[in-house]
Amino acid sequence: MPILDTIAEVQKVERPIVTIHGGPGSWKTQFGLDCPSPLFLAFEDGFGNRKHKSIRPTNTDTIWNTFAELVIPGHGYRTVVLDSLDHLAPLIVREICDTHSKNTLGDFGFGKGYELEANQWLRLFKGLHRLREAGLLVVCICHSQVRSIDDPAMSAPYDRIEPKLPKKANAVVKELSDILGAAVPDMSVITDERTQKTKAVGTGKFKLQLTPTPAIEAKNRYRMQASINFTFADFLTEWQRVNPKPEATTNTATSQESSQP
């Protein structure tokens, strides 16, 4: 049989793995709290007085065991939130170094320590993909950092806001997240007509940048808008716009799914 005769039309609808990075106090944790039935794997204290359900892993075995339990139906959680990846990163490095009796990843030589680090991040995202396949929404939270980019194609270096992660971890997170959003203040620059001086004016709210710019690291696989209001309700509306359901039904399962991508 000719190969072209075996071509089939495929449409695989899955919930996304969402990574959101932003500065302190940019409502990242609140986004996770607003997701349906969230369970937090909390690597830092960022909840304030807000009620939440969480596990505080002190080693990676706890993470892998939690993933193994979450793929089994019946636990009642619909979202898994990792908060935050940049506080998980030192835990991964510490375990690698302790296992091999090293002080730093650089002590391994020939880049081996950093390869071991990358393998742990790949294992993490393999586990997150299993959770997604089990029907869970996955949200990863990370702080941002500003890094100088020296691009040979540009006439001068420039600054970019990106996840605050080690180089190898950053590469894995950016590649394997379906959506990489940046929570940025909703601001604009205005010019005083009298003095011709410029100043930044903010609304006190945040936007979620979903497409990349030279200044902001972001991406999505779904042709979502470049920027939306940073709330879960706005995110859900945009997700449903670009991923419409084939048919509207009124059964109980569908009504339960209406508040989740």
Residue 43 belongs to some domain of the structure: yes
Nearest to 70 by CA among 165, 6, 163, 138: 138
Nearest to 16 by CA among 136, 101, 134: 136
Q: Are 149 and 159 spatial neighbours (Cβ–Cβ below 8 Å)?
A: yes
Q: CATH code at 55?
A: 3.40.50
Number of domains the chain is built from: 1
Domain that holds residue 93: 3-244
Residue 261 belongs to some domain of the structure: no
Residue 253 belongs to some domain of the structure: no
C-beta neighbour count of 41 within 10 angstroms: 20
Residue 86 belongs to some domain of the structure: yes
Kindly report whether the global pTM for this prediction surpasses the value 0.75. yes
State pLDDT tens for residues 28-75: 999 999 999 999 999 998 888 888 999 999 999 999 999 999 999 999
State pLDDT tens for residues 116-173: 999 999 999 999 999 999 999 999 999 999 998 887 777 788 899 999 999 999 999 9
Residue 256 belongs to some domain of the structure: no
Residue 251 belongs to some domain of the structure: no
Residue 260 belongs to some domain of the structure: no
Distances (CA, A) of 69 to 79, 186, 218: 14, 39, 31
Give the three-state DSSP class for 205.
strand
Distances (CA, A) of 169 to 118, 120, 129, 151, 253: 6, 9, 16, 21, 37
